[in-house]
């Protein structure tokens, strides 16, 4: 059974139409890549799925495990298991990273009817996760994303993903600005979650990430529509021939 | 019909005339204050220093039948459990039975040392009113070189007295240290018009925090006049969460070289509360620093005011003065007014000030919600983060803990 079903999804921002009818199904346990040039609507798709209010859904529907995702508040989507790794993670001055993550994890646990984690248990978990991502421990003590390098911000997103254990992760260009080692670590972070209850939508420009994180399906998004879909070989083809050729094909 | 300010002024002067014979201390000083008050009266919004804060509420309080009295024991229960000295006043009357006098500290009641108690501060309308009608208060002296630890100065108002004007003097000898925690609570309708004069001796350290959590129907005016000698340190923090109308006014005069003054404040205002933090920092000596961080969080129909004046005299070269006021408006009808003023007569100084007014950031809220935080929790986390920079300025954890507790209680109240 497909965990994510998108039918004829249309969305606009500030009255400007961006998505012109997206159809996409991601089965449980599958990883799909969305590729396409800048301005094709990739990030909009991620934001709409996560529930950002300034994007207006103008048509279509999205079902997540059979639920009407578009009718849910962003926090309810998170509780249901949707996670968006932001392309540009937001800085929160004055909010400690560990405190933020514990608040988030416990909010989600509460919504799922699970007991909350106390500070000690949580910190142990967070430290182990941070170590796996080769993050310095002091990143937990710092304010959320404040003064983080681009790569540190991306890793911090993956850290949150690991702690929140989503059922659907949307990674919005998490690979951009990462060096080879960081890329491998991020891919490992996602691979570690792979299983029958985890699906991912990986938005990227580059084939590079997909070498480490091999997708089940690859889709090309152009001008707000999916113009082509294929297996992992499509990503390699795009790298060689470009998006314009993909559309013509 | 509410009384006009001049009606209230007249009532207060009548009150002085009828009580004059029974007041402790020299009448010369009180008569002088009364004649100034007779001329100036309660300030109106036409007075530049009171442009953003109307005292009309006082007209609804003075001379009306006293409100239902709260019990003293309930109010005592609200005092923070802090080890150290303690001065407790109930409706402005210092209670000997509740006094705890730490080693190295002398505490006199106003009636025992009226000469010192009535000497300062400078004449202004509200401090004149205080000097004219003050019935009680205390003189607190920390001897040179003594670390007096924490002293709690608590004001409990039962609502059975319509107005009280306590007067306190704190004197720190050379190299002395004191952490003063003022804690103002109460029930009912009343005017609490306090005056505190502080002298920080050479190399002495005065750490101060005030929790203003008065009755939501009270008017709370607190004026601090602080003189800072060479190498002295003053670090003062005010939390305005209570009262219908609150004004915390602090005048710092830096008279010796190498001194540092920090004046920070947080106001958390809801409903129809009006909170005003007014500061005047006067640099008269070279090589001194002053820093001010004032944060307002305003919701409902409340209004926050910050007025901050920095004066740098010609002699005060190498002054480093900084002032920042930031307001967060959580509702469409909330309001914040900021009035920074710089008057600089020295040429080699570093002075900066800034003011911002804003709402919670939509992108930050979405980020938190996308991580599962319900909207109220996301708002609260960002609001806490907004004031955290000001709370961190409280160096003494013994002072910071009661402030944080009062902040947490206020959030809890707001969520109801």
B116: three-class secondary structure by DSSP: helix
Dihedral sign, CA of B83, B86, B92, B96?
Answer: positive
Cβ distance of A75 and B369 shorter than 8 Å: yes
pLDDT of res. A184: 87
pLDDT of res. B328: 98
Q: A85: distance to nearest CA of chain B, Å?
A: 10
A107 — contact with chain B (CB < 8 Å)? Answer: yes
Chain B residues closer than 8 Å to A114 by CB: none
Written as tens digits, the pLDDT of chain B (416 aa) is 467 999 999 999 999 999 999 999 989 999 999 999 999 999 999 999 999 999 999 999 998 877 677 788 888 888 888 888 999 999 999 999 999 999 889 999 999 999 899 887 678 999 999 999 999 999 999 999 999 999 999 999 999 999 999 999 999 999 999 999 999 999 999 999 999 999 999 999 999 999 999 999 999 999 999 999 999 999 999 999 999 999 999 999 999 999 999 999 999 999 999 999 999 999 999 999 999 999 999 999 999 999 999 999 999 999 999 999 999 999 999 999 999 999 999 999 999 999 999 999 999 999 999 999 999 999 999 999 999 999 999 999 999 999 999 999 999 999 87
H helical segments located in chain A: 42-50, 74-80, 97-111, 119-132, 150-164, 180-193, 208-212, 233-241, 243-248
Q: In what order do the strands lie in the sheet with A67-68?
A: A16-27, A2-13, A55-64, A67-68
Peptide bond into B58 cis (omega under 30): no
Of A99, A124, A189, A135, nearest in space to B381 by CA: A99
Cβ neighbours for A226, distance < 8 A, ≥ 6 positions apart: A22, A23, A24, A219, A220
- Burial of residue B28 (CB within 10 Å: 0-12, 13-18, 19+) is exposed
- A183 or B197, greater pLDDT: B197
Mutate to test the interface with A, among B356, B372, B382 (most CBs of A within 10 A): B372
Mean confidence (pLDDT) of chain A: 92
pLDDT of res. A248: 60
Q: Residue B158 to residues A87, A156, B222, B354: CA-CA distances in angstroms?
A: 57, 52, 18, 40
Percent of chain A with pLDDT over 70: 98
Q: Which of A53, A94, A160 sits opposite B371 (nearest CB)?
A: A160
Taking only the tens place, the pLDDT of each residue in A115-158 is 999 999 999 999 999 998 888 888 999 999 999 988 899 999 99
A108 — contact with chain B (CB < 8 Å)? Answer: yes
Of A122, A120, A148, A119, nearest in space to A135 by CA: A148
pLDDT of res. B159: 92
A167 — contact with chain B (CB < 8 Å)? Answer: no
Taking only the tens place, the pLDDT of each residue in A64-114 is 999 999 999 999 999 999 999 999 999 999 999 999 999 999 999 999 999
Chain A residues closer than 8 Å to B392 by CB: none
Q: B155: distance to nearest CA of chain A, Å?
A: 32
pLDDT of res. B246: 98
Cβ distance of B372 and A111 shorter than 8 Å: yes
- Burial of residue A66 (CB within 10 Å: 0-12, 13-18, 19+) is exposed
Q: Which of B364, B374, B384 sits opposite A90 (nearest CB)?
A: B364
Between CA A97 and CA A155 the distance in angstroms is 13
A89 — contact with chain B (CB < 8 Å)? Answer: yes
DSSP A124: H
A3 — contact with chain B (CB < 8 Å)? Answer: no
Answer yes or no: is pLDDT of A208 > 80: yes
DSSP letters for B364-410: HHHHHHHTT--HHHHHHHHHHHHHHHHHTT---HHHHHHHHHHHHHH
Answer yes or no: is pLDDT of A1 > 70: no
Between CA B99 and CA A146 the distance in angstroms is 47
B358 — contact with chain A (CB < 8 Å)? Answer: no
B401 — contact with chain A (CB < 8 Å)? Answer: no
Q: Which of B362, B374, B385 sits opposite A107 (nearest CB)?
A: B374
Between CA B385 and CA B391 the distance in angstroms is 10
Element (H, E) at B39: helix B27-40
DSSP B216: T
Q: Which of B372, B374, B375 sits opposite A164 (nearest CB)?
A: B372
Tokens of B35: 């004649």
Residues 54-83, chain A, touching B (beta carbon < 8 A): 54, 73-75, 77-79, 83
DSSP A173: S
Domain architecture of chain A: domains with CATH:
2-248 (3.40.50.300)
Q: Which of B367, B378, B388 sits opposite A94 (nearest CB)?
A: B388
**Domain coordinates of chain B in residue numbers?**
5-361
Chain B residues closer than 8 Å to A100 by CB: 368, 371, 381
B380 — contact with chain A (CB < 8 Å)? Answer: no
Of B199, B194, B249, nearest in space to B229 by CA: B199
Number of H helices, E strands in chain B: 9, 20
B360 — contact with chain A (CB < 8 Å)? Answer: no
**ipTM of model over 0.90:** yes
Between CA A22 and CA A6 the distance in angstroms is 7
Cβ distance of B367 and A103 shorter than 8 Å: no
User: What is the chain B residue with the closest CA to A157?
Assistant: B371
Cβ distance of B364 and A94 shorter than 8 Å: no
DSSP letters for B2-35: PPPHHHHHHHHHHHHHHHGGGSSS-HHHHHHHHH
């Amino acid at each position: 059974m497909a965990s994510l079903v998108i039918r004829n999804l249309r969305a606009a921002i500030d009255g400007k139409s961006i998505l012109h009818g997206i159809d996409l199904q991601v089965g449980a346990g599958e990883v799909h890549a969305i590729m396409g040039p800048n301005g094709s609507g990739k990030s909009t798709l991620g934001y709409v799925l996560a529930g950002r209010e300034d994007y207006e859904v103008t048509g279509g529907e999205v079902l997540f495990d059979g639920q009407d995702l578009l009718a849910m508040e962003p926090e309810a989507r998170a509780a249901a298991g949707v996670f968006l790794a932001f392309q540009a993670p937001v800085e929160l001055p004055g909010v400690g990273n560990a405190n933020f993550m514990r608040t988030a994890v416990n909010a989600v646990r509460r919504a799922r009817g699970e007991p909350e984690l106390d500070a000690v248990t949580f910190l142990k978990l967070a430290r182990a996760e941070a170590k796996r991502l080769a993050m310095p421990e002091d990143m937990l003590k710092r304010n959320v994303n404040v003064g983080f390098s681009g790569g540190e911000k991306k890793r911090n997103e993956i850290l949150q993903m690991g702690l929140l254990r989503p059922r659907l992760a949307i990674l919005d260009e998490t690979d951009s600005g990462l060096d080879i080692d960081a890329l491998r670590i991020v891919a490992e972070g996602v691979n570690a979650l792979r299983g029958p209850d985890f699906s991912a939508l990986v938005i990227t420009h580059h084939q590079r990430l997909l070498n480490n994180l091999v997708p089940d399906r690859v889709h090309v998004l152009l001008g707000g529509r999916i113009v082509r879909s294929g297996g992992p070989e499509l990503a390699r083809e795009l790298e060689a021939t470009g998006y314009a050729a993909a559309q013509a094909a | 019909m509410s009384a006009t300010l001049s009606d209230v002024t007249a009532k207060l002067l009548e009150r002085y005339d009828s009580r004059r014979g029974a007041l402790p201390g020299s009448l010369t000083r009180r008569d002088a204050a009364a004649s100034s008050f007779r001329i100036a009266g309660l300030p109106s919004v036409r007075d530049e220093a009171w442009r953003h804060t109307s005292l009309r509420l006082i007209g609804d309080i003075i001379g009306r039948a006293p409100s239902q009295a709260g019990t003293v024991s309930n109010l005592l229960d609200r005092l923070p459990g802090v080890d150290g000295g303690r001065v407790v006043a109930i409706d402005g009357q210092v209670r000997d039975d509740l006094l705890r006098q730490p080693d190295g500290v002398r505490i006199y009641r106003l009636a025992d040392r009226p000469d010192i108690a009535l000497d300062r501060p400078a004449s202004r309308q509200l401090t004149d009113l205080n000097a004219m009608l003050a019935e009680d208060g205390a003189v607190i002296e920390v001897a040179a070189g003594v670390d007096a630890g924490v002293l709690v100065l608590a004001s409990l108002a039962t609502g059975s007295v319509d107005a009280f004007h306590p007067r306190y003097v704190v004197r720190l000898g050379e190299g002395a240290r004191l952490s003063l925690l003022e804690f103002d609570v109460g029930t009912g309708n009343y005017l609490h018009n306090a005056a505190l004069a502080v002298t920080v001796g050479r190399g002495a350290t005065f750490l101060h925090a005030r929790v203003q959590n008065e009755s939501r129907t009270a008017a709370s005016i607190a004026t601090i006049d602080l003189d800072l000698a060479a190498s002295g340190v003053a670090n003062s923090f005010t939390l305005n969460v209570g009262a219908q109308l609150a004004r915390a006014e602090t005048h710092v005069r830096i008279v010796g070289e190498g001194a540092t003054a920090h004046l920070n404040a947080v106001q958390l205002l809801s409903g129809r509360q009006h909170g005003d933090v007014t500061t005047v920092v006067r640099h008269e000596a070279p090589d001194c620093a002053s820093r001010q961080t004032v944060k307002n969080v305003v919701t409902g129909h409340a209004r926050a005011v910050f007025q901050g004046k920095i004066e740098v005299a010609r002699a005060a070269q190498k002054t480093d003065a900084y002032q920042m006021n930031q307001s967060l408006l959580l509702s469409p009808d909330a309001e914040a007014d900021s009035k920074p003023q710089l008057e600089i007569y020295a040429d080699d100084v570093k002075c900066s000030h800034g003011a911002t007014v804003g709402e919670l950031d939509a992108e930050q809220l979405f980020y938190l919600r996308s991580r599962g935080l319900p909207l109220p929790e996301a708002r609260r986390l960002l609001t806490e983060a907004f004031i955290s920079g000001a709370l961190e300025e409280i160096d003494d954890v013994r002072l910071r803990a009661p402030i944080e507790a009062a902040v947490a209680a206020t959030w809890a109240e707001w969520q109801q």
